[in-house]
Amino acid sequence: MTNRTRWSASALILFLSLISAPSAGSFQAPQLPEWAWNNVDRIVAVGDLHGDYDQFIKVLQDAGVINKRMNWIGGKTHLVQLGDVADRGPNPRKIMDLLMKLEGQAAKAGGSVHALIGNHEAMNIYGDLRYTTAQEYAEFSNSRSERVRQAFYKQTVEELRKEAEAKNETPVIDDAFRKKWEEQHPLGFFEQRIAFGPNGKYGKWILSHNVVIKINDTLFVHGGIGPKYAAMSPAAINETIRKELGEFSMSSAIVTRDSQGPLWNRELAEGDEALLTPHVDLLLKNLGVNRIVLGHTTTRTTVIPRFGCKVILDDVGLSRVYGGPPACLVIRKDGAYALHRGKMLTIPCDSGKGLLEYLRSAAALDPPPSPIEKTIQELQKKLDAVSPVVPPEFFRAARTDLPAPCPRRLPPLLENSLPPFDGVDVGLRDRPFRCFEPGR
């Protein structure tokens, strides 16, 4: 299905007109929803799902916001889903239906569910289907799907023949052509396109949501915000992208598809922290927040802090397409935590030993071998490289010159760096420093 990238052909427009859908340009986006909340005691933020319903359920139950019957028990908790429910995995429709149900239940309990628009929701709106799988289309198939597909195939063939006649050409329409066309349009394809269209259940639902929201002192956005949009307010970002998507056309998706924009940007997740710190500080100031939480860029390990906790990466690769753990971010009044395989871990704000211990704690919860081990090794190597190295000659001179016994200790850094003397590990850690004669 590599050639099934867009569905804006005139044949599909004709098909949509047969079911009384309005043209793309006539769509009116619903009124902008609220995008800022204060005095929220508990926030649960879940990253990209990519169709993995079971992993989503696992995380929500671990976080205590739903029960075994998939009903809301989170009280006044605010649940944020950072976008990218769609594509790659088998059950995005099932996830969206659950989110719709939880929105109503949470509101009645005094809580809230925020399903943000991600780049893959946008792609399904304007018809870029490169990552949509046959399993996803199958979610939308029904007893009429074969008849619908054949009717559309017939219309496609008629259009091809008319175009060829106008050019005095003969189109090649044989069994191979039909087989390829059906592979590109599996059962459920057209029903899925209708559902994400102007009058479709999921198209309208997605466009009723935000791209950026602010809860307490934290901003939530799917991808990131590049320098180009640093001065743009959340309200303006939401309004602009919703308006672009309301056209249901890729050509209209300017900010929506911009690599600097909030759906695609990866700089805050992957860029050099030293170089980007001024940009991050400017963003926090302009937006009036203390941290930004992102999805989009997969860690495949656990929730990861950057820029001294000013940025938190929450796309852990939850979907089994990526093989990440069931983990999410929990923010309370007393701090930010990773809920990793059901256990709360305090997220450190230093990129050194604190981060190393945090990663080790998360790795210990994973089935071996943990995917975090590689990150731990890389960080340990980095920390070792920046530690000061004291030449061995320093210790040899010190040990031969000092009287014995020596009533003091070496500084911990020197004790840890102390090499064996004459082939013997003197083992000075946690013991008084004593002098040794050469050859002992």
The string of DSSP letters for 166-177 reads: HTT-----SHHH
- Helix or strand run (H / E) with residue 362: helix 353-365
Instruction: Report how far apart, in Å, the C-alpha atoms of 433 and of each of 400, 415, 437 are.
Output: 13, 9, 13
Whether residue 350 has pLDDT greater than 60: yes
Whether residue 358 has pLDDT greater than 80: yes
Bridge partner residues of 81 (DSSP): 46, 115
66 touches 72 (CB < 8 A): yes
Whether residue 21 has pLDDT greater than 70: no
Return the domain boundaries, the chain: 10-25+132-197, 36-125+203-349, 388-440
**pLDDT at position 417:** 47
**pLDDT at position 387:** 66
pLDDT in tens, 248-264: 999 989 999 999 999 99
Confidence of residue 148 (pLDDT cuts 50, 70, 90): very high
* Fold annotation for 36-125+203-349: Purple Acid Phosphatase; chain A, domain 2 (3.60.21)
pLDDT in tens, 122-139: 999 999 999 999 999 999
209 touches 116 (CB < 8 A): yes
The reported pTM is 0.82
244 touches 25 (CB < 8 A): no
How is residue 412 written in tokens? 């911990």
Confidence of residue 391 (pLDDT cuts 50, 70, 90): low
Whether residue 283 has pLDDT greater than 80: yes
Instruction: Report how far apart, in Å, the C-alpha atoms of 18 and of each of 148, 388, 413, 432 are.
Output: 11, 73, 77, 88
222 touches 82 (CB < 8 A): yes
Instruction: Give the mean pLDDT of the chain.
Output: 87
How is residue 269 written in tokens? 């997740």
Buried/exposed code over 384-420 (b: 16+ C-beta within 10 A; e: otherwise)? eeeeeeeeeeebeeebeeeeeeeeeebeeebbebbee
259 touches 265 (CB < 8 A): yes
Confidence of residue 411 (pLDDT cuts 50, 70, 90): low
Coil/strand/helix, residue 356: helix
What does the pLDDT average to over 13-30?
44
Amino acid at 192: Q
Instruction: Report how far apart, in Å, the C-alpha atoms of 1 and of each of 154, 183, 279, 280, 358 are.
Output: 20, 6, 40, 40, 42
Dihedral sign computed on CA atoms, order 31, 74, 44, 82: negative
Would you call 164 exposed, middle or buried from its count of C-beta atoms within 10 A (0-12, 13-18, 19+)? middle
Q: What is the percent of the chain with per-residue pLDDT over 90, rounded to a whole number?
A: 78
Confidence of residue 193 (pLDDT cuts 50, 70, 90): very high
